[in-house]
Amino acid sequence: MINLEVPKKAKALVNQARQAATEVFRPISRKYDRAEHSYPTELDMLAALLDGLNTSGEGGAGAAGVRRKDDKDGKDGKDTAGNRNGGNLLTVLGTIELCWGDVALLLSMPRQGLGNAAIASVADDEQLERFGKLWAAMAITEPGCGSDSAAITTTATKDGDDYVLNGEKIFVTSGERADAVVVWATLDRSKGRAAIKSFVVEKGTPGFEVVRLEHKLGIRASDTAVLRFDNCRVPAKNLLGSPEIDTKKGFAGVMQTFDNTRPLVAAMAVGVARAALEETRRILEEAGIEVDYDKPALAQHAAAATFLQLEADYEAAYLTTLEAAWMADNRKPNSLQASMAKAKAGRAVVDITLKCVELAGTFGYTEESLLEKWARDSKILDIFEGTQQIQQLIVARKLLGKTSKELK
């Protein structure tokens, strides 16, 4: 049975993350939204604190991984560990709190990139030891390949003990600041998605170039880069997962990363949505509009009724996100739930923040409040790690038992 209540052992982490969001993120949120591409140096000390939490095993708000190892300690080989609330759930809860403070600043945190989640999920023990302390970005999207990750054209050609990478990646979060980038590339384009592998490419590697930084609608505190790989030689031992092309297994190897990162993005959306709801409720109360949970919505002020609808949408996104993380902690396949959480939370945060701007009137559209910023930040949470449409397609395939060829 899945219990979606916040576990007792997570309360200390949640309180610490909330304090960091309140004392560190919120005060500098507007500053770095205006100073796009400027690195928030205030985050260095906070990043060191999160490193300590992760090392101690208490979990942080950063990049945990889905390490799918068997927990069979009974004499008959059966799993005796029972249900657990582990690193993934703790990470999701911490992420919600920090993104209540500022989602772009979380994306700017050293060693908390989506590439770190990929390494934590897919790397073997030796790779985890080598790359575990690096700040890693994730490079998937290309100029001609957006949500369809199977259409990747960046190539990785085996040459002795190295792979030679050629191609271009766009919209890479922390692409300039990170120490390394997890690059998705194909070993053989004729073999389709089964040939797509991920490689850890460290900064300073010859042939690896940061071409430019993008100016964006939202999450301006984070850097978003265009990267180019021109005969970039990467050691073969930097390939994450198996180098074999298994057409039967297909895309499953690299897609395992998304089972971990999509709930994280959903958690980011939940945090932003909650921030917008709390601010909107404060503004409504100051205007004399009370939200009464003991009355039917239709018997209340129109703004209060709308607010109740938005809260219900938020709760649904929150619960689906916790479910996906809980399943990962309990070694249950969560691809369906990860996509459901990402789809629901991504859509909900856009709807909620835009409606909150509307409900708040002039306070929602000016820089007197952070509502307009949250509305701008929210859209990327519905796009990256797979758009709304892609998530719905994945969910439909899972529920209907269809393959990617059968349902496009």
Catalytic residues: 385
Contact between 173 and 247 under an 8 Å Cβ cutoff? The reply is no
Find tokens 């856009």 and name the residue: 350
Instruction: Mention every residue, 6+ apart, whose C-beta is less than 8 A from residue 189.
Output: 153, 155, 195
C-alpha triplet 198, 202, 203: angle, nearest 5° = 135
Contact between 85 and 9 under an 8 Å Cβ cutoff? The reply is yes
Phi and psi angles of residue 333, each rounded to the nearest 5 degrees, phi first:
-55, 125
Task: Tell me which residue of 324, 370, 326 sits closest to 346, measured CA to CA.
Answer: 324
Contact between 353 and 99 under an 8 Å Cβ cutoff? The reply is no
Q: How many residues does the chain have?
A: 408
Residue 26 CB coordination number (10 Å): 16
Sign of CA dihedral 237, 238, 242, 244: negative
Task: Tell me which residue of 280, 376, 256, 273 sits closest to 320, measured CA to CA.
Answer: 273
CA–CA separation, 15 and 238 (whole Å): 37
- Amino acid occupying residue 351: D
Q: Is 48 helix (H, G, I), strand (E, B) or coil?
A: helix
User: Which residues are 172's β-sheet partners?
Assistant: 225
Find tokens 């049975």 and name the residue: 1
